[in-house]
Structure formats: structure tokens, C-alpha cells
Amino acid sequence: MDRRVLLASAVPAALTTAALNSGTPATAAPRRPRADDVLQVRDIGSFHVGGRAVTLTGAPLRDAFAGPDQPPAVIDPNGDFEVGQVYVQYCALARPVSPHPLVMWHGGGLTGVCFETTPDGRPGWQRDFLGHGHDVYLTDALAGGRAPFARYPELSGAEPRFRTKRELWELFRFGPAGSYTTEPGHRAPHPDTLFPTASFDTFVKQVVPRFTTYTEATQHAYGALLDRLGTSVVLTHSAAGPLGFAATLAAPHRVAAHVAVEPSGAPDPDTVDLASIRHVPHLIVWGDHLGLDDDPGGSWANLYSSTRRFHDALLAAGGQSTWIDLPDHGVTGNSHMIMMDRNSRDVADLIASWLRRHGLG
């Protein structure tokens, strides 16, 4: 089934790429970039933001096992370090369609890689949104990937979680509970899953140990990032969803829009000033198999409800928030990793259209 057709016909006309393009005379406006055009890149690079200088003192000498062919090495772990910094990687175009950078914040146990090429080799959202003419900034945060972690537990506060393949398979909703097996050929994904499950083991290669003790440092670094970049479109996924909501509340003038893809919850609306973010458009996107009906007490259903409460309260406060349940628009089978699912480009197009409607693309 052609999911692009489904998406175009089922999503409200205002949100479809086709509807947005249909009224544009060929000669009246600059030609919109096409997805696979050669990119005109002004610059490509990276930097770190946030973090702080920390001195470890008083830790005992360690009998560090240096490796299987080497004798134990006694080391002194004390000294000066940098802790909590976030990595930022950018690709800036010669003629971007918006003065506002598009920054993408990954979730727990992942890195900016999740927005790059999909595990089955298709262009990722970095490429898709560059194709739409946006300057794209990816980050590594939460002490994952190129955001280094410090010695634990001394400087990290806790050890990280090393999620097993089974945990990832079930948590990211590639298949129901009990459907994971070590042997790839015996796994039983959701029959309609859009995740390229034949590439699941490849996907796992990008999963990093998940720290839970770097949230505050990351929030701080993200605030510094928005100060440095100026007003940006913030696209968040999963555990970064709360970081996006918080960043918007902390600096409403710095967030042109917040696109929250399967956010793992939102603030309690009674505890925050929603009026202050009334002018910031929000787009909240959900996939499938959330267990809303058959597992209403489950973790996904809880995060979904928490986010819905925020969305409703934001609207009631005069704010702008668009809620999209892809299955309600005839698009079934999306997993938690929407940016990797086989309709990832369609969803990118939908988000890009929404941005254009808000003057941001």
C-alpha cells in the first residue's frame, strides 16, 4: 500500500505537501528544493556547548585492569575534567529557506545518529530536512556518543543502563511483548510495522549506554545552544521531548516552534506558565501500537496522556498546538523510531509542510 497516498489523502488538507504546493504558480516564487537535489552547502562542522570544569579529588588509586594481555596498572584517577557538555553538528546551506536553524534533539540511549541515514540505508531526517532547505543541527547529549561521559559513579553520579536487544525491541514497539528472539529469523514484529525490522541488529549498533544523571546538564547546555544559535525550530524525540518543552518555557523567544515526536511526557500544565509560550507553535506526532486501548496503564499510554494534558491546556491558554496520531490519519504501523520507519520521508514532508504554514520554511 502506498503510504504516501494514504498520508496525503488522510491528513487535513492544510497539512499535506500536495495541498501546499497545488496553489503555487511555477513562475511566481523561487523553486522549492527537491528532496534529492544536490545540496548547496555553505559550511559543515561542529562544536561543543555547555559542560563545566570539575576537579576530582580524594579518589583512591585504582588497580585498573588495563587489558587482557597487560598487567594491572595502578592509576591515579584524580584531576581536572570537563563534564556535561553537549556535541552539536551542523550542515548550513548557502540559501536556507528559513533564518531559523532546525535543531534535532535525540532521546535516551540514542545520539544524533538516529536522525542520519536509516538502519536500512535510506536518507534520514537530516538529509530530508536539508533537502527541504533547512540548516540542520544535530546534537549528542545526555553523555552519549560525542557528548563524553565522565568516570562513574564518581563524576557521573550513576552507571548507565545498557539496554538489551529485547528491551529495545519491546520498548520501541517493533513487536509485542515476547516477540523478540536472539535469532533474527524467529522474531515476530507487528505485522504492519513500518520499522525496517530486517535491519534491527544494524539499528542496535548505534544505541549507546543510557545515563539518567545528565538531564540537568543537558538542559543547561541546550539553553546555551539556543542562546548561541538564536531563535531556532526545535525538533525533539522521546526523552528530549520534556527537554524541548522546558527549553521553550525557559526561553520562549528562542524557540520558533517545537516539533515533539513521541515525547516521553510533558510538564504538568498546572505548574508552568502556558501563556508565556502562547506564540510558539507546537506539533506533536505519535506513531502506532502505543497500547492505548489494550495497555492503558502501560508506560506509553501514560506518556501519551501526560502529553495530551499539556496539549489541551496549552490550547485552552490560547496557545497553538497540533496533535497528530498517524493511525488516525490512516497511517498505521509506525514505531517509536518514526524517523527510521519506512515512511520516514513522508513524515518529514508533513513536518516540513507544517513549518511552512507557520512561516518557518
Which of 117, 108, 93, 88 is CA-nearest to residue 160? Answer: 108
Helices (H), 106-162: 125-131
The alpha carbon of residue 141 and the mean position of all alpha carbons in its chain are separated, in whole angstroms, by: 11
Using CB under 8 A, which of 102, 103, 104, 130 touches a second copy? Answer: 130
Number of residues that bind a second copy (CB under 8 A): 71
Using CB under 8 A, which of 1, 5, 14, 66 touches a second copy? Answer: 66
- Contacts to a second copy from residues 81-100, by CB under 8 A: 81-82, 85, 87, 89, 91, 94
In whole angstroms, how close is the CB of 201 to a second copy at the nearest point?
6
Using CB under 8 A, which of 12, 121, 318, 359 touches a second copy? Answer: 121
- First vs last Cα of the chain: how many Å apart? 30
- Residue 192 to residues 5, 287, 296, Cα–Cα distance (Å): 17, 12, 21
Q: Are 102 and 178 contacting, i.e. CB atoms less than 8 angstroms apart?
A: no
- Contacts to a second copy from residues 218-257, by CB under 8 A: none
212 near a second copy, rule: CB under 8 A: yes
Q: Which stretch, 8-16, 197-205, 248-256, 283-291, contacts a second copy (CB under 8 A)? A: 197-205
Q: Which stretch, 20-28, 63-71, 272-280, 342-350, contacts a second copy (CB under 8 A)? A: 63-71
Using CB under 8 A, which of 78, 276, 302, 320 touches a second copy? Answer: 78
Nearer to a second copy, 172 or 354 (CB): 172
The kind and range of the H/E element at 91 are strand 79-93
In whole angstroms, how close is the CB of 291 to a second copy at the nearest point?
22
Using CB under 8 A, which of 105, 149, 286, 300 touches a second copy? Answer: 149
State the burial class of residue 50 (Cβ atoms within 10 Å of its Cβ: 0-12, 13-18, 19+): buried
151 near a second copy, rule: CB under 8 A: yes
38 near a second copy, rule: CB under 8 A: yes
Distance in angstroms (rounded) separating the CA atoms of residues 234 and 243: 10
Which of 313, 259, 268, 267 is CA-nearest to residue 286? Answer: 259
Nearer to a second copy, 217 or 285 (CB): 217
State the burial class of residue 297 (Cβ atoms within 10 Å of its Cβ: 0-12, 13-18, 19+): exposed
58 near a second copy, rule: CB under 8 A: no
